[in-house]
Amino acid sequence: MNTKCSETTIEILGRSIGRRQPVFVIAEVGLSHEGSLGMAKAFVEALSCTGVDAVKFQTHIPEAESTDREAFRVKVFPQDATRSDYWRRTGFQASEWMELADYSRRKGLEFLSSPFSEAAIDLLLDCRVPAWKVASGEICNTPLLEKMAETNLPVLLSSGMSSWIELDAATRLLRQTNTPFGILQCTSAYPCPPESWGLNIVPEMESRYQCPVGLSDHSGTVAPSLASITLGASILEFHVTFHPQMFGPDVLASLTIEETKSLVSMVRKLELAFANPVDKDDVAANSSTMRRLFSKSIVAAQSIPAGTILNRSHLAFKKPGDGIPAGNYSMVLGRTAKSDLVADQRILDSDLHK
């Protein structure tokens, strides 16, 4: 697969990602399929109608990833004695992963999955993933990053649990191996409250690393994603669910399918807005018809006999704006009416002596 990298842009399957490029939108199913290939495909089918660019899963191979000492982040699975049991129950066989990847591509979505072991990288290579998405907990996993770098595929880093020093080390490794990368602000809280969104970090990352930046969101709302776009995010990732009452630890941190569709629509509108800067003077010059309708002109506040020297009490300001603008009223003060004026009559320069 052909990948390129510049200081501020990466390419995934020929698509440029970075500043002034369309936002790359990733909908994460994660493990919300609960080990059902049918449910995973149902998510893909639903997301294919929302406008997202990619669907993302998580690839866990228990024996390559963890020991039975691993604790649950949230113990909501009564049928699983250990988290390794959970990984086994919700995992797919290699042939099923390939089937899911092919199905995603047929539905017009890029297939992504976060690998949590080197074995998972090998499996996903067979699935022809176009890029690597590194989960927050793997940023310091140097062997994993080195193996990703060997593939020459671009890498997207989630930064949820990392310090600047740790991120510096990860990005340095990728730069030294000429690996294209982007980095996403992320807070590992599910759901993540507004005071922890860390939106200020998005432009800080762009300035610090000179690469495409984005947001991996766990808020369960569209607000942080939209806000991050205004701060320079060119990559969005968020969890999805079919319904807020579905089972699973990520549900409260997820968007529904309809919310996802709405978010993508708003993102594309923001892109149009940013691609078309507006000049205020041009807007005013092109709004002459509307200006006449909504602005006000100087009119007679009452009947004014010819020969009257006009003062402020003789003037009123009413629509339409087809005469002397209300803002120019001082130019008529002290001038003399040439002829009789009736109440509400528009006062023109020609009605007054110099």
Confidence label for 182 from pLDDT (cuts 50, 70 and 90): very high
Paired strand residues for 336: 309
> Do 235 and 296 belong to one domain?
no
Residue pLDDT, tens place only, 251-297: 999 999 999 999 999 999 999 999 999 999 998 889 888 989 999 99
Per the CB < 8 A criterion, the answer to whether 39 and 90 are in contact is no
Cis preceding linkage at 191, omega within 30: yes
Residue pLDDT, tens place only, 98-109: 999 999 999 999
Paired strand residues for 163: none
Q: Is residue 37 part of a domain?
A: yes
Q: Where are the beta strands (DSSP E) in the chain?
A: 9-12, 15-18, 24-30, 54-59, 110-115, 132-134, 155-158, 181-186, 213-217, 235-241, 254-256, 297-300, 315-318
Given a cut of 90, is residue 23 above it in pLDDT?
A: yes
pTM of the model: 0.87
Paired strand residues for 317: 298
Q: Is residue 73 part of a domain?
A: yes
Residue of 202 and 86 predicted with greater confidence: 202
> Do 287 and 269 belong to one domain?
no
With a pLDDT cut of 90, the percent of the chain lying above it is: 84
pLDDT value of position 188: 87
Q: Is residue 200 part of a domain?
A: yes
> Any idea what the CATH number is for the domain that residue 128 is in?
3.20.20.70
Q: Is residue 1 part of a domain?
A: no
Alpha-carbon distance of 51 to 30, in angstroms, equals 19
Q: Is residue 191 part of a domain?
A: yes
pLDDT value of position 4: 41
Instruction: Decide the pairing of beta strands 132-134 and 155-158.
Output: parallel
Q: Select from 251, 275, 299 the last residue of a domain.
A: 275
> Do 288 and 271 belong to one domain?
no
Report CA dihedral (241, 64, 79, 187) to the nearest 10 degrees.
-40
With a pLDDT cut of 70, the percent of the chain lying above it is: 97
pLDDT value of position 7: 58
Q: Is residue 43 part of a domain?
A: yes
Q: Select from 245, 275, 305 the last residue of a domain.
A: 275
> Do 299 and 263 belong to one domain?
no
> Do 167 and 254 belong to one domain?
yes
Owning domain of residue 155: 9-275
